[in-house]
Amino acid sequence: MTLPASRVLVTFAALALLCLASTVAAAQERLALVVGNGKYDAVPSLDNPVSDSRLIARTLEQAGFTVTLLNDVRQTDLIRAIGRFGRDLRTAGSEATGLFYYAGHGVQSFGNNYLLPSDVALTDAADLALVGVEAQAVLRQMASAKNRTNIVILDACRNNPFIDIADMDDNGLAEMKAPTGTFLSYATAPGAVALDGESINSPFTAALAAHLTEPGVPIEQMFKSVRIDVLRATNGTQVPWDTSSLTRNFSFVEAPEIDREKAADDALWASIKGTSDPVQILLFLRANPASRHSAEATALLSRLIAAEASPTGTDRLAAVTPNEPSRAAPAIDPDTGPESDPTADLPGESEREMIERARTSGQKADYQAYLDVWPEGTYAELAAFEITILDTKPANSAALPVEPAPGAAPEPAAEPVAQPAPNNGEAVTFDAPLAVGGDGVVGRTLEQLITGSPLFPPIEGLPEEYWKNQNCSGCHTWQRENLCIQAQTYLSANAERALSKQHPYGGGFKANLRRWAENDCK
């Protein structure tokens, strides 16, 4: 029977995915051979190796290893297990990780280390290679697999069971040379004796199991922590030893993967959630409809819009910090300036009246009168910027029309002028260099500023990694259309608070946006 072409494609795709999955699994494979010999036929038995090996086997399984566990194993079976371990590593491929752990009797003779099987019997040092298992055999099997990471852990220096045999009087194990890509760990320093321990586990294995599953800890750092614990547990008498020829980083348990999208969403919201500008919140919601902060942003936007509609603006502080009691505007003498709490950030009625009078008249003298009374006032930056604009405007230019103060009688509309909103004699346009606005703004166009970087943090105390050398378009999704929407909000009579707040570009960036909006965002 012939399968339809579409069916063949689906089957082929499924097979390809299965092959890919098996390849990934092989690339990440971890194999371990764990041996614990405690009960011996002809030499003194040890209390803890079997419980040590079982503890390590369980711990390695938690770390993603496929574990083969052998206890009280005889020589023939141990040799076969090591050979099978080597074959499994060769099959697993170059990206696999191999680990061999041994707890039990181990001795050195003529510079070579031997692991003692449970049926070992020795009367002459020359026979050790015939009745023991050379530790170097494990390293040879691992090296033959040509995999990139191998680990050998030997808790095998408990004591010398052959102390009465001639030429068998060396204590501990000799230091071995490991093939490239191997990490070797000994329970104690070369030539020294390790303790079997007074509990069910040796001090070395207990410390190893305690630290092995710590997420994201490099293997070198992990064994350093093991060394510290063993030194503490043995009052400094046992010093674990390790040597490494690893060529890449390795951790038994990988660090939790950072959710980069969540972190970026949190960082973006943190950078603007303290704003009192509803446009910023609106742009955030428009650019991030799936943000987990959408509900919080929507609620803040509603409060800010309500505060914008307030005739006095006294709800603005409550809008930004709704859980804190709002403060009434302090009583201020218009002839002497502010004498109350300097931390109060809401202008008194007389200050608002003065800035509204200046905006209504558009005269330099009125803006200067405001600055004379309120040199540190809420609208001081705005007033200074307007004076700069007026100083650069041709003498015969008409004052710009402005919205009247809330509740005030409307002024007659001024006659339109040929060139609106001067910028050193010219209108503010999207692609023309700005002539006023302070450092970071003057000489650059709005088009360039869209892709610029802040001069200082948009929110006080914001860590540098969230704003330093960052593209402003990443925070505001700035495009020409969105920037025009923001600019148009500065045309309203209630926009002074937003205009007066320093922008991270510094200078009069917002005021330039307003002039651009007055020029129909051309």
| DSSP letter string, 301-321 | HHHHHHHHH-SS-TTHHHHHS
175 is a domain residue: yes
What is the model's pLDDT at position 51?
A: 96
According to DSSP, the β-strands at 133-134 and 112-115 are antiparallel
What is the model's pLDDT at position 495?
A: 57
Whether residues 203 and 321 share a domain: the answer is no
Whether residues 228 and 282 share a domain: the answer is no
Structure tokens at 235: 């009052």
Whether residues 340 and 224 share a domain: the answer is no
Q: Which residues pair with 107 in a beta bridge?
A: 114
Chain position carrying tokens 């993603």: 64
Structure-derived torsion over alpha carbons of residues 337, 343, 498, 297, reported in degrees to the nearest 10: -160
CATH number, domain containing residue 174? 3.40.50.1460
224 is a domain residue: yes
Structure tokens at 255: 């660090």
Which residues make Cβ contacts (< 8 Å) with residue 275, sequence separation at least 6?
Answer: 281, 320, 458
**Which candidate, 445, 447, 389, places its Cα nearest to that of 421?**
389
253 is a domain residue: no
Whether residues 128 and 277 share a domain: the answer is no
What is the model's pLDDT at position 178?
A: 79
Q: Which domain holds residue 166?
A: 27-244
Whether residues 230 and 313 share a domain: the answer is no
What is the model's pLDDT at position 367?
A: 82
| Domain termination residue (choose one: 211, 244, 277) | 244
What is the model's pLDDT at position 266?
A: 86
Three-state DSSP class for 452? Answer: coil
C-alpha distances in Å from residue 292, one per residue of 233, 300, 434: 48, 14, 38
Burial class for 163, CB neighbours closer than 10 Å (0-12, 13-18, 19+): exposed
**Which candidate, 322, 323, 277, places its Cα nearest to that of 301?**
277
Whether residues 269 and 233 share a domain: the answer is no
300 is a domain residue: yes
Whether residues 192 and 232 share a domain: the answer is yes
Whether residues 383 and 513 share a domain: the answer is yes
Can you give the pLDDT of all 522 residues of the chain as single tens digits? 444 444 444 444 444 444 444 443 444 799 999 999 999 998 888 999 999 999 999 999 999 999 999 999 999 999 999 999 999 999 999 999 999 999 999 888 888 899 999 999 888 888 888 999 999 999 999 999 999 999 999 998 766 777 677 677 667 788 888 789 999 999 988 767 776 667 789 999 999 999 999 999 999 999 999 999 999 999 998 899 999 999 999 999 998 877 778 888 888 888 888 887 777 787 788 778 788 898 888 888 778 766 655 555 445 445 555 544 433 333 334 444 444 443 344 455 577 778 777 877 778 888 888 888 888 776 776 777 678 767 765 544 444 444 444 444 444 443 333 333 344 456 888 888 887 766 667 778 887 777 777 766 655 555 565 566 666 655 545 567 767 877 776 676 555 555 655 566 655 777 788 888 888 888
Whether residues 43 and 190 share a domain: the answer is yes
Structure tokens at 138: 């494990």
Q: Tally the domains of the chain.
A: 2
123 is a domain residue: yes
**Which candidate, 168, 175, 190, 192, places its Cα nearest to that of 110?**
168
| Domain termination residue (choose one: 186, 210, 244) | 244
The alpha carbon of 200 is separated from its chain's Cα centroid by a whole number of angstroms, namely 40
255 is a domain residue: no
What is the model's pLDDT at position 346?
A: 47
According to DSSP, the β-strands at 182-186 and 241-244 are antiparallel
Whether residues 330 and 446 share a domain: the answer is yes
446 is a domain residue: yes
19 is a domain residue: no
| Domain termination residue (choose one: 213, 244, 275) | 244
pTM exceeds cut of 0.75 = no
Whether residues 214 and 353 share a domain: the answer is no
What is the model's pLDDT at position 405?
A: 40
Whether residues 428 and 324 share a domain: the answer is yes
**Is the four-CA dihedral 41, 42, 43, 44 of positive or negative sign?**
positive
